[in-house]
Chains A and B, each alone.
Chain A
Amino acid sequence: MSSSSAAAGTSNGGSVDAGGAARRNTRMPKYSKFTQQELPACKPILTPKWVVSVFFIVGVIFVPIGVVSLLAARDVVEIIDRYDEACVPSNMTENKLAYIQNSTISKNCTRTLRITKEMKQPIFVYYELDNFYQNHRRYVKSRNDAQLRDAKKPNQTSACEPERYTADGKPIVPCGLIAWSLFNDTYSFTRGNENLTVDKKDISWKSDREHKFGKDVYPSNFQNGSLIGGAKLNSSIPVHESYSALSYVVAYACRRESIVHVTSLSEQEDLIVWMRTAALPTFRKLYGRINIDLKQNDTITVNLLNNYNTYSFGGKKKLVLSTATWLGGKNDFLGYAYLIVGGLCIFLSFAFTLLYFIKPRLVFILISAAITMISVGLTGNWGTTTTCPGTDTLEAAKAPLGTP
Chain B
Amino acid sequence: MKARMKDMMRVATARLGGEQQAGASSSSGYVRRDSTAVRTTRLGGDSLRRQPQPQAPTVRTVYCNDRDANAPVGYKGNSVSTTKYNVLTFLPKGLFEQFRRVANLYFLMISILSTTPISPVHPVTNVVPLSLVLLVSLIKEAFEDWKRFQNDMSINNAKVDILQDRDWESTPWKRLQVGDIVRIKKDGYFPADLLFLSSTNPDGVCYIETANLDGETNLKIRKALEKTWDYVLPEKVSEFKGEVQCEQPNNSLYTFTGNLIVDKQTIPLSPNQLLLRGCSLRNTEYIVGVVIFTGHETKVMMNSMNVPSKRSTLEKKLDKLILALFATLFMMCVIGAIGSGVFINQKYFYLGLRGHVEDQFNPKNRFVVTILTMFTLITLYSTIIPISLYVSIEMIKFIQCTQFINNDINMYHAESNTPALARTSNLNEELGQVEYIFSDKTGTLTRNLMEFFKCSIGGEMYGTGITEIEKGGAERAGIKIDNDEGKRSAVAIHEKGFNFDDARLMRGAWRNEPNPEACKEFFRCLAICHTVLPEGEETPEKISYQAASPDEAALVAAAKNFGFFFYRGALALGPRPKLLEGVYTIIETNPCKGYMRETEHLLLRVIWEQSKTSVIPIITPDRIPVSSVAFDKTPHDAGAIEVALTILRTPTTVVVRESHVERMGSIQDVSYEILNVLEFNSTRKRQSVVCRFPNGRLVLYCKGADNVVFERLADGNHDMKKISREHLEQFGSAGLRTLCLAYRDLNREQYESWNEKFVQAKSSLRDRDKKLDEVAELIEKDLILIGCTAIEDKLQEGVPACIETLSAAGIKIWVLTGDKMETAINIAYACSLVNNDTKQFIISSETDTIREAEDKGDPIEIARVIKDTVKQSLKNFHEEALRSLSRMPERKLALIIDGRCLMYALDPTLRVDLLGLSLSCHSVVCCRVSPLQKAQVASLVKKGARKITLSIGDGANDVSMIQAAHVGIGISGQEGMQAVMASDFAIAQFRFLTDLLLVHGRWSYLRLCKVITYFFYKNLTFTLTQFWFTFQTGFSGQRFYDDWFQSLYNVIFTALPVIIVGLFDKDVTASLSKRYPQLYKEGIRNSFFKWRVIAVWGFFAFYQSIVFYYFTAAASRHGHGSSGKILGLWDVSTMAFSCVVVTVNLRLLMACNSITRWHYISVAGSIVAWFVFIFIYSAIMTSFDRQENVYFVIYVLMSTFFFYLTILLVPVIALFGDFLYLSIQRWLYPYDYQVIQEMHRDDPHEYSMVQLPETSHLSPEEQRSYAISMLPRENSKHTGFAFDSPGYESFFASQQGVGVPHKPWDVARRASMKQRQQPQRPARS
Q: A43-B1241, A48-B1223, A161-B352 are in contact. List 7 more A-B contacts (CB 8 A).
A: A136-B351, A284-B1117, A312-B349, A314-B347, A377-B890, A381-B837, A390-B808
Which residues of chain A from 351 to 385 have any CB-CB distance to chain B below 8 Å in the complex? 352, 361, 363-364, 367-368, 371, 374-375, 377-383, 385
B1270 to chain A, nearest CB (A): 12
Complex: how many Å from CA A46 to CA B1245?
Answer: 19
Q: What is the 8 Å Cβ interface bit string for chain A, positions 76-116, against chain B (1 contact, 0 not)?
A: 00000000000000000000000000000000000000000
Q: Which residues of B contact A45 (CB under 8 A)?
A: 1226, 1234, 1237-1238, 1241
Most buried by A among B348, B810, B1003, B1216: B348
Binding-face segment, A232-240, A250-258, A259-267, A322-330:
A322-330
Residue B129 at the chain A interface, CB threshold 8 Å: no
What A residues does B1070 contact at CB under 8 A? 37
Contact B1126 A390 (CB under 8 A): no
Q: A192 to chain B: which residues have CB within 8 Å?
A: none
One of B345, B1208, B1245 near A40 (C-beta < 8 A) = B1245
Chain A residues whose CB sits within 8 angstroms of the CB of B1227 once the complex forms: 46, 48, 51, 361, 363-364
Complex alpha-carbon distance, A390 and B1127, angstroms: 60
Could you say which residues of chain B place their CB within 8 Å of the CB of A67? none
B1078 engages A374 (CB within 8 Å): yes
Q: Of residues 272 to 315 in A, which have CB atoms within 8 Å of B's CB atoms?
A: 273, 276-286, 289, 309, 312-314
Q: Is the CB of A44 within 8 A of B1152?
A: yes
B1002 CB, min distance to chain A CBs, angstroms:
12
Residue with the highest number of chain A CB atoms closer than 10 Å, among B1070, B1128, B1252: B1128
When A162-B356, A377-B890 are in contact, do A23 and B1255 touch as well, CB less than 8 Å? yes
Q: CA A390 – CA B1201 in complex, angstroms?
A: 55
B400 to chain A, nearest CB (A): 9
Which chain A positions have C-beta within 8 A of B1113? Answer: 279-280
Residue picked from A19, A122, A276, most chain B C-beta under 10 Å:
A276
Nearest neighbor of B406 in chain A, beta-carbon distance: A29
Interface pair A382/B832, CB less than 8 Å apart: yes
Chain A positions within 8 Å of B837 at CB level: 381, 383
Is A26 part of the contact surface with B, judged by Cβ < 8 Å? yes
Q: Contact between B1252 and A43 (Cβ–Cβ < 8 Å)? A: no
Which A residues lie within 8 Å of B1036 (CB)?
133, 135-138
B1192 touches A207 (CB 8 A): yes
- A246: interface (CB < 8 Å): no
- Known contacts A313-B349, A379-B807, A389-B1075; decide if A328 and B1247 are in contact (CB<8 Å): no
> Are the CB atoms of A6 and B1245 closer together than 8 Å?
yes
Cβ of B17 under 8 Å from chain A: no
Q: Mark B398-420, 1 if CB is under 8 A from A, else 0.
A: 00000110111100101001110
Q: Assuming A43-B1237, A62-B1212, A133-B348, is B1077 touching A207 (CB within 8 A)?
A: no
Residue ranges of B at the interface with A (Cβ–Cβ < 8 Å):
120, 345, 347-352, 354-358, 361, 376, 403-404, 406-409, 412, 414, 417-419, 475-476, 804, 807-808, 810, 832, 835-837, 889-892, 1003, 1029, 1032-1034, 1036-1038, 1064, 1066, 1070, 1075-1078, 1081, 1111, 1113-1129, 1131-1133, 1152-1159, 1181, 1183, 1186, 1188, 1191-1192, 1195-1196, 1200-1202, 1205-1206, 1208-1209, 1212-1213, 1216, 1219-1220, 1222-1223, 1226-1230, 1232, 1234-1235, 1237-1239, 1241-1242, 1244-1245, 1247-1250, 1252, 1254-1256
Contact, CB under 8 Å: A341 / B1201: no
Of B414, B889, B1183, B1209, the residue contacting A377 (CB under 8 A) is B889
Residue ranges of A at the interface with B (Cβ–Cβ < 8 Å): 2, 4-6, 8-9, 12-13, 15-16, 19, 22-23, 25-32, 34-48, 51, 54, 58, 62, 65, 69, 122, 124, 126, 128, 132-140, 142, 145-146, 149, 161-163, 177, 180-181, 202-205, 207-208, 211-212, 227, 229-230, 273, 276-286, 289, 309, 312-314, 322, 324-331, 333-334, 337-338, 341, 344-345, 348, 352, 361, 363-364, 367-368, 371, 374-375, 377-383, 385-386, 388-390, 393-394, 397, 401
Contact B352 A138 (CB under 8 A): yes
- B891 CB contacts on chain A under 8 angstroms: 381
A138-B351, A286-B1119, A327-B1201 known; A29 and B412 CB under 8 Å? Answer: yes
Interchain residue pairs A-B with the least CB separation, the first 8: A207-B1192, A137-B1036, A328-B1120, A276-B1128, A35-B407, A124-B1124, A41-B1154, A6-B1245
Picked from B350, B1202, B1241, the residue with its CB within 8 Å of the CB of A2 is B1241
Query: Could you say which residues of chain A place their CB within 8 Å of the CB of B1222?
Result: 46
A341 touches B1209 (CB 8 A): yes
Task: Report whether B1126 and A276 are in contact in the complex, using a CB–CB cutoff of 8 Å.
Answer: yes
- CB of A322 within 8 A of CB of B1119, answer yes
The CA-CA distance from A387 to B1259 in the complex, in Å, is: 26
Per a CB cutoff under 8 Å, which of A47, A328, A378, A389 touches B1124?
A328
Are B1226 and A46 closer than 8 Å at their CB atoms?
A: yes
Q: Which residues of A contact B1075 (CB under 8 A)?
A: 389-390, 393
Asked whether, in the complex, the Cβ of B1219 is within 8 Å of the Cβ of A54, the reply is yes
Tell whether, in the assembled complex, residue B1188 and residue A212 are in contact, meaning their CB atoms are under 8 Å apart. yes
Contact B1191 A386 (CB under 8 A): no
**Known interface pairs A4-B1244, A16-B1252, A286-B1119; A28-B1033 also in contact (CB < 8 Å):** no
Please, which residues of chain B bring their CB within 8 A of the CB of A345?
Answer: 1216
Q: Are A328 and B1200 in contact (CB under 8 A)?
A: yes
Flag if A35 contacts B408 (CB, 8 Å). Answer: yes
The reply to whether B1114 and A203 contact each other, CB–CB distance below 8 Å, is no
Contact A8 B1114 (CB under 8 A): no
Q: Are A132 and B1133 in contact (CB under 8 A)?
A: no
Complex CA gap A41/B1158 in Å reads: 9
Known: A364-B1227, A390-B1076. A8 touches B1245 (CB 8 A): yes
| List of B residues within 8 angstroms of A324 by Cβ | 1119, 1121-1124
A28 touches B417 (CB 8 A): yes
Distance between Cα atoms of A386 and B1126 in the complex (Å): 74
- Distance, CA A38 to CA B1003, complexed state (A): 13
B1213 and A337 within 8 A (CB): yes
Expressed in whole angstroms, the Cα–Cα distance for A379 and B1202 within the complex equals 61
B891 nearest CB neighbor, chain A only: A381
Residue of A nearest to B1210 (CB): A337
| Beta-carbon contact of B1121 and A383 below 8 Å | no
A29-B406, A328-B1202 in contact; A39/B1156 too (CB < 8 A)? Answer: yes
Choose among B808, B1126, B1205, B1213 the residue that contacts A341 (Cβ–Cβ < 8 A).
B1213
* CA of A8 to CA of B1247, assembled, Å: 9
Bound together, the chains give a CA A177 to CA B1036 distance in angstroms of: 15
Question: CA–CA, A325 to B1118, complex, Å?
Answer: 12
- Which B residues are CB-close (under 8 A) to A401? 1238-1239
The smallest C-beta distance from B478 to any residue of chain A, in angstroms, reads: 11
Please judge, given known A-B contacts A35-B404, A41-B1064, A381-B837, whether A161 and B358 are in contact too, CB under 8 Å.
yes
Q: How far is the CB of B1046 from chain A (nearest CB, A)?
A: 15
State whether B352 touches A126 (Cβ < 8 A): no
Q: Knowing A135-B1038, A377-B889, A381-B837 are in contact, say whether A36-B1124 is a contact too (CB < 8 A).
A: no
**B1238 CB contacts on chain A under 8 angstroms:** 45, 47, 401
Q: Give every chain B residue within 8 A of A397 (Cβ-Cβ).
A: 1239
Residues of B within 8 A of A26 (CB): 417
Contact B1118 A331 (CB under 8 A): yes
Which residues of chain B are within 8 angstroms of A368 by Cβ–Cβ distance?
A: 1235
- CB contact between A29 and one of B407, B1066, B1125, B1129 (< 8 Å): that residue: B407
B1209 touches A338 (CB 8 A): yes
A341 with B1216: in contact, given A138-B361, A374-B1078 (CB under 8 Å)? yes
Hey, which chain B residues are within 8 Å of A36, CB to CB?
407-409, 1247-1248
B1247 touches A388 (CB 8 A): no
Tell me which of A27, A122, A383 contacts B836 (CB under 8 A): A383
How far does the Cβ of B333 sit from chain A's closest Cβ, in whole Å? 15
A135-B1032 contact, Cβ under 8 Å, with A43-B1154, A62-B1212, A337-B1209: yes
Which residues in B have their C-beta under 8 angstroms from that of A378?
A: 807-808, 810, 1078
Which of these, B419, B1200, B1247, contacts A27 with CB under 8 Å?
B419
